[in-house]
Structure 1
Amino acid sequence: MTPRRRLSPDERRRVLLEAGARLFAERAYDAVLMEDVAAAAGVSRALLYRHFPSKRDLFAGVYEQATDQLLGATPFDDGKPPLEQLAAGLRTHFDYFEANAHSVLAANRVLAGDPTIQAIIEGELGELRRRVLDALGLEGTQRLRVSSVLLGWLTFVRVLTVEWLENKHYSRAELLDISLGALMGALQPILGSEIPPAPNSE
């Protein structure tokens, strides 16, 4: 019988994060037990705790990895209008939010006051803001003014999306229309006719 290859620390961490991501996607945060994660990853609890001292640390690792993957899946292409690119990025994020509602709600409700989780969210919002500003080609004072608007808009979309996941008071197409409409309305006083028309919703 061929012995199993010993995993490197990075490989082991990846396996643990994959197991954690599956369970956090399937269950509410409070229903995920570290022993269940260890069992899903095929390791002992001691080994799991060696990599992640607490469930909060494991969740932070899972959420940070998901954020990196989302940012990687939503690059901006200079060949397309900015709002069209933004709409595509929002759709990609909505796909993830729907598939991982428990994780998103945990980050924005259960762990809303956790500084590590908030730093991950703020880092993602900051990168998205930079990408939109670059796609719009803004510089100087105009870039600073629009940057402030984008910060408020991204926070608005985050809150709106969490509300949608919890209650579904509006459809996904309406969620997209509301998000893009809010941005266009907020940018109109600054950019005026320079704003390209919003793309059609799903």
Structure 2
Amino acid sequence: MRTRMNTEHRRAQLLAIGAELFAGRPHDDVSIEEVADIAQVSAGLLYHYFPSKRAFFVAVVENESAKLLHAATPDPSLPPLDQLKAGVAVYIDYAERHPDGFRVAHRAALTDNDLLRIHEGRGAAHRDRILTGLAMVTTVDDQTPIAVTGWLAFVPAAILAWLDDPKITREQLCDLCARALWAAVGLQPIAESRPRQ
């Protein structure tokens, strides 16, 4: 039996179904008809919200990226390093729960301009948050944004390598990512870093 929903709720429902399906299978293996069947709507209604399967996929990636960015919002009451580790932990948790979706989103961004735009927008927001936190423990100069941008490329690559061959714990992965940032920006070893007075 079909449930009537307002436009906002229906769109959110379709995006949630898409996220679940795309997280578990490659883009080409998911059909609009399958999404519509799960949502108990017609394929035509789904096309009313999203003009094509590709547009639907891009909307799913954009929605998931926004949720991930929101989930990684730093807690200003934590020290900068703890804020950083909490943000990395969010990414690792997401990758653990949705390994296929994480792989698709990060690898597709390399070849798809729309997904690259989403990826770069999310990266810029993360970079700015990290620079704000780093300013509490060190001087942020012209090299720092470049180092942070490079580190933001390192983190998903490290997570993807870990997903493919998890020989270390998630805690070790989180620590590795944090140490890599500290090294990239030229800070002391993490245990010795303290906020500037």
Q: Give the length in aligned residue pairs.
A: 191
Specify which structure has the higher proportion of helix.
Answer: 1
Cα distance, 1:187 vs. partner?
1.6
Percent of pairs identical after alignment?
36
Aligned with 2:133 (options 128, 132, 135): 135
TM-score of the aligned structures, taking structure 1 as reference length: 0.83
Deviation of 1:164 after TM superposition, in Å, equals: 2.1
- Summarize the alignment of residues 1-202 of structure 1 with structure 2, pairs less than 5 Å apart: 6-110=4-108, 112-137=110-135, 142-188=140-186, 192-193=187-188, 197=191
Distance 1:75-1:107 versus aligned 2 partners, 3 A rule: closer
In the TM superposition, residue 156 of structure 1 has moved relative to its aligned partner by: 0.9
Contact 2:22–2:101 at 8 Å: present in 1 too?
yes
CA distance in 2, matches of 1:31, 1:117: 19
The residue identity in structure 1 corresponding to 2:59 is G
How much has 1:162 moved relative to structure 2?
A: 1.9
> Matched residue of 1:142: which SS?
coil
Which consecutive unaligned segments of at least 5 residues does structure 2 have? none
Secondary structure of 2:143's match?
A: helix
Check the 8 A contact 1:25/1:102 in 2, yes or no: yes
CA, structure 1 residues 14+103, in 2 after alignment: closer, same or farther (shift >3 Å)? Answer: same
Is the 8 Å Cα contact of residues 97 and 104 (structure 1) preserved in structure 2? yes
**Normalised TM-score (structure 2):** 0.85
Counterpart Cα distance in 2 of 1:166 and 1:187: 28
RMSD: 2.5
How far apart are the structure 2 equivalents of 1:152 and 1:169? 24
- Partner Cα distance (2:172, 2:31) in 1: 36
